[in-house]
Amino acid sequence: MRFHISPERELHKRDPMLYGHFLEHFHRQVYGGVFDPGSPLADEDGFRKDVLEALRKIQTPIIRWPGGCFVSSYNWKKGVGPNRQPVFDKAWRVEDPNTFGTDEFIKLCRKLNCEPYICTNAGTGTAEEMSDWVEYCNLETEGEYARMRIANGFREPHKVRYWSIGNENYGHWEIGAKGTLEWARLAAESTKMIQHVDPTTSLTAAALVDLDWNISLLRSCAQRLDWISIHAYWDAIHHTNDLAPYGRCMSYTAETETAIRRVRGLLTAMGLENRIRIAFDEWNLRGWYHPNIHTAYQGRTKEEYLYPRDDNDRNSSYTMADAVFSACFLNTLLRNADIVGMANFAPMVNTRGGIFTYPEGIVLRTTYHVFDMYVNLMGDTLLDCWAQDVEPYVTPGLEGEVVVDMVDCAATRDSRTGAIAIACVNKHETDAKEIALHLPVRGCVTVTSLIGESADDYNDIGRDHVHPVCNSSAIIEQTDDMLRLRLPAHSVSVVQIQ
């Protein structure tokens, strides 16, 4: 298998926001996750210091909050100020203490030096309530809500640039779901009112891979949108938690580009590809487990709908399958970074996130280490990379066998140092694979690999099996114009040429 890389042919720069994250009021993501004032590991503002340190290491560029389904019945005004009362979250059917609201979210982002991205309530909310939220965050002194923020102890505006109109409002599962024309009208009025408050905001609206929905939305307010938002969870196990085995997870890598390609085509057809970018602002291999919530039946007892959510935090669920799939998707994002400018791994902490918290510390799951490698080892400029004689990998899918490329590569250059980095993913469950990278090789070469003892290997409390390691033995041969490598089975490797 050969991959040809042209260092002279720079395709596009990727936005750092491709490596963004997502935080929702679901299970232990916020309370007991990133925010835990009662913990001895928390700082003076109640944030877990070990979680903050882990998020800083992967240079978290942007966080989307507060949902997700949670936001479609969320009243932001009840989550600010000194007199907060617990509220019943109608989306997830639990009581939210309301102690983590807008100001706490902004504090979190400031501690991480990252952009806040607020998703507004377009379910039970109104265009006026959304624009009031922007007033609270972004106006200096004008109006009721800027003065409310100042009275709450924040004299300077929060300066939130990124805002989303709603979350998955096309779905029957969403509180306040909308029809196509109804959505277009609400999005048009909401974007208009928000820009009347602050014309410097960068706006997106909930969309999906559906022509009628997107055409209606774009016809109504394309002139006010900077983004179009899409989501994907490939292993849709929300009601069963029946995790796909490694082979089926690899079959999903055949679909990582499908949504992007279709939405790109629509934007191009409407002449918007140079004005509106894609925000892939929720993604993960596996859907979150929440049985008997998005059904007409609903769970009658907490044993039916609430307690099973603890199974999201079984660390043995997050194996090399998750890592290899995530690396393949990040490669897809890099190849499409001319039109995909933001992506948010869902979620950031606990549930299906890359970081797991427990009272005495944290576990870094396999997917966390993928972000660590891509953020800290890969460059910011995509180079032309094309494959030749790539071996097919036949793997079981949901409806029969699926054929995918055995190895997936993406090549980058660091615009500051000139260093070249190539992400190489071997999808085979049990076999190492040899590849040849054809490019000028005139410098020090290092290989960093994420390897598991088996495809089902994982990290847990007291079990740090999977983490990036220097893998010099991967280099078989090096010449002035070629590098031959042996990639371990089910592995993610980054080759750096200084």
Q: Which domain holds residue 433?
A: 2-8+381-497
Question: Given this model, what pLDDT does residue 359 score?
Answer: 97
Question: Given this model, what pLDDT does residue 443 score?
Answer: 83
Residue of 328, 348, 352 whose CA lies nearest to 241: 352
CB neighbour burial string for 124-139, b if at least 16 within 10 angstroms, e if fewer: ebebebbbbbbbbbbb
Same domain, 485 and 355: no
Same domain, 245 and 369: yes
Give the integer Cα–Cα distance in Å for 199 and 191: 10
Which tokens belong to 448? 């960093």
Give the integer Cα–Cα distance in Å for 319 and 455: 7
Same domain, 243 and 337: yes
Same domain, 237 and 125: yes
| Cis ω for the linkage preceding 68 (within 30 of 0) | yes
Give the integer Cα–Cα distance in Å for 68 and 255: 23
Alpha helices in 378-464, H assignment, sequence order:
none
267, 418 Cβ separation under 8 angstroms: no
Same domain, 319 and 446: no
Give the integer Cα–Cα distance in Å for 440 and 435: 16
Same domain, 154 and 223: yes
450, 494 Cβ separation under 8 angstroms: no
Domain boundary among 377, 411, 434: 377
Same domain, 343 and 389: no
Question: Given this model, what pLDDT does residue 297 score?
Answer: 87
133, 117 Cβ separation under 8 angstroms: no
Alpha helices in 139-280, H assignment, sequence order:
143-151, 180-197, 211-221, 246-251, 258-269
Which tokens belong to 338? 């001319």
Report which DSSP code applies to 70.
G
What is the number of domains present in the chain? 2
Same domain, 175 and 228: yes
We report the CATH number of the domain holding residue 398 as 2.60.40.1180
Question: Given this model, what pLDDT does residue 399 score?
Answer: 87
Same domain, 345 and 388: no
Q: Which residues of the chain have pLDDT under 70?
A: none
Same domain, 326 and 217: yes
Same domain, 222 and 307: yes
Domain boundary among 361, 377, 393: 377
Domain boundary among 311, 345, 377: 377
Give the integer Cα–Cα distance in Å for 100 and 177: 25
We report the CATH number of the domain holding residue 335 as 3.20.20.80
Q: The whole model's pTM is what?
A: 0.97
Run of H or E residues at 331: helix 320-335
Question: Given this model, what pLDDT does residue 186 score?
Answer: 98
Question: Given this model, what pLDDT does residue 275 score?
Answer: 96
Same domain, 313 and 432: no
